[in-house]
Amino acid sequence: MDINKKKVPAHVAIIMDGNGRWAKERGLERVYGHANGVASVRKAIKASLDMGVKVLTLYAFSQENWNRPAAEVEALMLLMVSNMKQELPSFIEQGVRFRYIGNRAALSDEVREEFDYCERQTAHCERLTLVIAVSYSAREELAMAAQKIARRAVEGEIRVEDIDVDMMEENLYAGDLPAVDLMIRTSGEIRISNFLLWQVAYAEFYFTDLYWPDFDEKEYEKAVEYYGRRERRFGKTSEQIKLENSINQE
């Protein structure tokens, strides 16, 4: 597919949905869906590197997912830890920086220590930042940011009037990362499910009926190509955007 390199999103976020249904349709346990979903994670990382995406954020485990059967939660955590162990050398080799966002305190020591280790080992990598959202809730992320800011106000470090959009952003889990340009959700569900509510303020959305284990490089390129055709106006008129683009091309 002909991807216009100038119109590749800097930050892609993906809600990887449909693993359970994928497995059920094959008469398999749900965990097989997750295990097959890992192959799609690898494909998404490779395609991000190939296309020049700079940040890829994957919704691996929501805070609400703790309510799933204990065996499924356990299997998911094991999958994440074992795959991180396995992939670490190739991340370093390919320039993939690993980070994770969410409620770190809710994770087991084993998961947290492995993720912290991967963060440290890849801190120097610069080609792609891979962000895994685990035990993540966007509403909690915003409440935590509000708490941190309020604490500073109470302690007299800042005035209430100093609180602005930039300060909110700095206090998110990964406030240094750019806003999401393209949000993808698989499995035919058209909802955001408490994912990156702040960061998607001006994102383009791409929905596909494919279940996550069936999501491959081709479908990812389709989403990026769709993104390239969108006119992003950020509140301006179409005429203003066209004028700006013609000036930029000169």
Q: Site residues (CB under 6 A) for ligand FPP? A: 16-21, 34, 37-38, 41, 58, 60, 65, 76, 79-80, 83-84, 132, 187
Task: Report how far Cα 148 is from the mean position of its chain's Cα atoms.
Answer: 23
In terms of CB distance, is 34 or 149 closer to ligand FPP?
A: 34
Residue (of 53, 95, 96) closest to 182 by Cα position: 53
Structure tokens at 10: 């800097």
Nearest approach in angstroms of CB 90 to ligand FPP is 12
Helices 217-229 and 30-51, axial angle in degrees (round to 10) = 50
In single-letter form, the type of residue at position 110 comes to: E
Q: How far is the C-alpha of 84 from the C-alpha of 79, rounded, in Å? A: 8
Q: How far is the C-alpha of 43 from the C-alpha of 49, rounded, in Å? A: 10
3-class secondary-structure state, position 87: helix
Integer-rounded Cα Rg, in Å, for the chain is 19
In contact, 106 and 135? CB cutoff 8 Å = yes
36 in active site: no
In terms of CB distance, is 114 or 149 closer to ligand FPP?
A: 114
Nearest approach in angstroms of CB 59 to ligand FPP is 7
- Catalytic pick from 4, 17, 214, 216? 17
How many of the other CB atoms lie within 10 Å of CB of 105? 7
17 in active site: yes
Nearest approach in angstroms of CB 238 to ligand FPP is 37
In terms of CB distance, is 17 or 181 closer to ligand FPP?
A: 17
In contact, 68 and 26? CB cutoff 8 Å = no
In terms of CB distance, is 68 or 230 closer to ligand FPP?
A: 68
Nearest approach in angstroms of CB 46 to ligand FPP is 14
Nearest approach in angstroms of CB 147 to ligand FPP is 27
- Catalytic pick from 4, 36, 50, 65? 65
In terms of CB distance, is 16 or 107 closer to ligand FPP?
A: 16
What residues are annotated to the active site? 17, 65
